[in-house]
Homo-oligomer: A and B are copies of this chain.
Amino acid sequence: MEVSTLVRLGVRSATSEASVDSITLFVVLLCLCIVIGHLLEKARWMTESVTALLIGLCTGIVILLTTKGKSSHILVFNEDLFFIYLLPPIIFNAGFQVKKKRFFQNFMTITSLGAVGSLVSFVIIWLGSMHLFEKLDVGFLEMGDYLALGAIFSATDSVCTLQVLVFGEGVVNDATSVVLFNAIQKFDLSHINSTIALKFSGNFLFLLFTSMVLGAAVGLLSAYIIKKLYLGRHSTDREVALMILMAYLSYMAAELFNLSGILTVFFCGLVMSHYTWHNVTESSRVTTKHAFAAFSFVSEIFIFLYVGMDALDIEKWKFVKESPGTSIGVSSILLGLVLVGRAAFVFPLCFLSNLARRSQIDKIGFKQQVTVWWAGLMRGAVSVALAYNWFAMSTHTEQRGIAIMITSTITVVLFTNVVCGLLTKPLVRFLLPQQKHLDSVMVSSESEMSLAMPLLANEEAPKSNMSGDNIPRPSSLRMLLTTPTRSVHYYWRMFDDGYMRPVFGGRGFVPYAASSPNENMHQPLLSEQKIVEL
C-alpha cells in the first residue's frame, strides 16, 4: 500500500503503523458502504451485504494492482477478531430486537428448523462430500475433515439470514453448527461407534442447554442490579455502560466455559430486552436500542467487506491455478450439497407442519416453501471463520489442500451471497406477488434498519412502521411459524407476572419513586414498543 510508505515518526511504533493504515482504510470503506447502501436503498435487487461484498472485492482488486499482485487484503482473516469482537454484537442485537412474543410462540418451529435442520444438512454434507470427493480424487482429506465440512456448511449465515423470515432459525442454526464443530474438534471421530455417538449427542444437548441458561442468568443479573441500585438516579450513561458490558460478559463467559457464545448472547439479549430494558431510564432505552443496532450494523458490514477482500487472496489462488478442475469440482459439489441439504429438511418439515394445520389457508404453499428454502441458502462469515479454524490452523501440512478448501469455502460464500442475495428479492416478488405488505416474520420490525428486513418486506415497510403500522397482519407465510404452543406461552406469562417481574422488573417498572418530568414526556415512544412486547 502506498500509504504505508509514508514515513511515520509519531507516537506509534513501527509495528502498529500498518494497523493505523489499515484501520483508517477500513473506516473509510465502512463509511462508503453506509453511504452507498443508503443510495442503493431503492434498488430492488441490492442488499447492504452484497454492496459491502462488492466494495470489498473492488478494494481487493485495487490493492492487488497497487501492490503489483503481492497481496489483496490489508488484514489477514483473524478469527479472534471475528469471534471475539464482530459476532457478539450482531447476535446480541438479534436477541435484543426480536419480537419475543412471536419467537416464543414459535419456539418449537424455530428450534426444529434451526437445530434439526442443521443436523440434517450436516449429515448430508458430511456423507455427500465423503462420497463425491472420492471420485474427484481429493486425497488429502480425512474423516474429521469431512465432518468439519458438514459443520462448516450447515451454518446458515445468521448475519445474512437474520434478515429473512426464517430469522430465528438462523441463530439456532449457527449456534448448532458451532456447537457441532466444537464437538467434532473435541472428540476423536475418525472411528465412530455407538458409544462415541451417544456421548457426542449428550455433550451436544448439554452444551445447548447450559448455554441458554447462562445467557438467561447474566441477563437476569443485569436486570436485578439495575432494578435494585437505580443506577439511572445518578447516571444514564452508567446504565448504558453496564448493559453493554453485561451483554458482552455473557458471550465471553460462555466462551470461557467452552459453551456456545452465540446461543448464550442471544438469550442474554432476549432476557435483557424483556427485563433490563424496562428498568432503565427512557434515555437509556432509546440509546441502547439504537446503539446495539448500530454496532450490529457496523459489524455486519465489516464482515462482508472482509470476506470480499479476502476472496482475492493471491497466495491461495496460485494453488487453485495448478488444479483448476479439482477446485471447481469441490466448489460445485459443496454448493450442490448446500442446496440439497437445505431442501432435505425445509420441504419435509413444511409437509409435517401442513399436516398439523387444518384450514387450507394456514397451510404453507409450495411457492412459499421454495422461498423459505431459497432465503436460507446463504453461507457467510461463520462458515469462513470455521473453515479457517479447521484448515488453516489444524495439523494439515499440505498447502495445496488447505488452499483449495479455503478458496472453495469463499467461492461458495460469495456465490450464495451474490447470486442468491441478488435473486431473492425478484424471486419473492415473482413467487409471492400478492403479499405486498408481507412483513418479515420474526424480524424486529420496530428496528428502523432497512438491513433488518430487505427481503420479504417491500421498501415502504420502514416508513409504514414509523406511523405505527406494524400490527401483525394475517398471512399464511407468517402462520408457518405459528404452531399451537399458546398454552405454554400462557403459563409462562402467569409465572412471569407472579414470580419473575417482582424480582427482576420488566415492563411497567418505574425506576424512580417520583418520576422526572422527562420520563412522562417520552411515554409516547413506549407505546410503539408495547405492541410488540410479550
Contacts and interface: CB of A to CB of B under 8 A. Distances in A.
Given A35-B225, A245-B27, A462-B234, A11 B287 contact: no
Q: Which of A12, A186, A246, A449 has most chain B Cβ within 10 Å?
A: A12
Q: Which of A10, A79, A448 has most chain B Cβ within 10 Å?
A: A10
Contact of A237 (B245, B256, B447, B516): B447
B518 A237 contact: no
Contacts of A61: none
Interface string A68-99: 00000000000110011000000000000000
B249 A31 contact: yes
Interface in A11-36: 11-13, 16, 19-21, 23-24, 27-28, 30-31, 34-35
A344 B239 CA distance: 41
A287 B291 contact: yes
Copies of this chain, tallied across the complex: 2
Interface in A231-255: 231, 234-238, 240-242, 244-246, 248-249, 252-253, 255
B245 A13 contact: no
Contacts of A389: 11, 13
B12 A80 contact: yes
A286 B237 CA distance: 11
A10 B20 CA distance: 31
Interface stretch (A121-129, A177-185, A411-419): A177-185
Interface stretch (A263-271, A333-341, A520-528): A520-528
A194 B511 CA distance: 64
Contacts of A294: 237-238, 240-241, 244, 287, 291
Contacts of A516: 466-467
A9 interface: yes
Contacts of A19: 80, 84
Contacts of A84: 16, 19-20, 23
Contact of A9 (B24, B185, B234, B238): B185
Nearest to A9: B186
Contact of A286 (B12, B20, B235, B283): B283
Contacts of A467: 516-517
Contact size range, A: 35 or more
A290 interface: yes
A83 B12 contact: yes
A196 to B, nearest CB: 16
A6 interface: yes
A290 B288 CA distance: 9
A192 interface: no
A6 B259 CA distance: 13
A149 interface: no
Contacts of A253: 24
Nearest to A4: B256
Contacts of A451: 235
A11 B83 contact: yes
A297 interface: yes
Given A9-B258, A524-B521, A252 B20 contact: yes
Contacts of A21: 256
A477 interface: no
A73 B447 CA distance: 41
B237 A293 contact: yes
Contacts of A258: 6, 8-10
B287 A235 contact: no
A241 B287 contact: no
Interface of A: 3, 6, 8-13, 16, 19-21, 23-24, 27-28, 30-31, 34-35, 37-39, 41, 79-80, 83-84, 178, 181-182, 185-186, 225, 229, 231, 234-238, 240-242, 244-246, 248-249, 252-253, 255-258, 283-284, 286-287, 289-291, 293-294, 297-298, 385-386, 389, 393, 447-451, 462, 466-467, 516-518, 521-522, 524-525
29 contacts: A8-B258, A10-B185, A10-B255, A10-B258, A11-B181, A11-B386, A12-B83, A13-B79, A13-B389, A20-B252, A20-B255, A23-B252, A28-B249, A30-B241, A34-B231, A38-B229, A38-B235, A39-B229, A234-B448, A235-B448, A237-B290, A237-B297, A240-B293, A244-B298, A283-B286, A286-B290, A290-B291, A466-B516, A517-B524
Given A10-B255, A522-B522, 15 more contacts: A9-B182, A9-B186, A10-B185, A11-B182, A12-B80, A19-B80, A20-B256, A24-B255, A34-B242, A237-B447, A241-B298, A244-B294, A286-B286, A287-B291, A521-B525
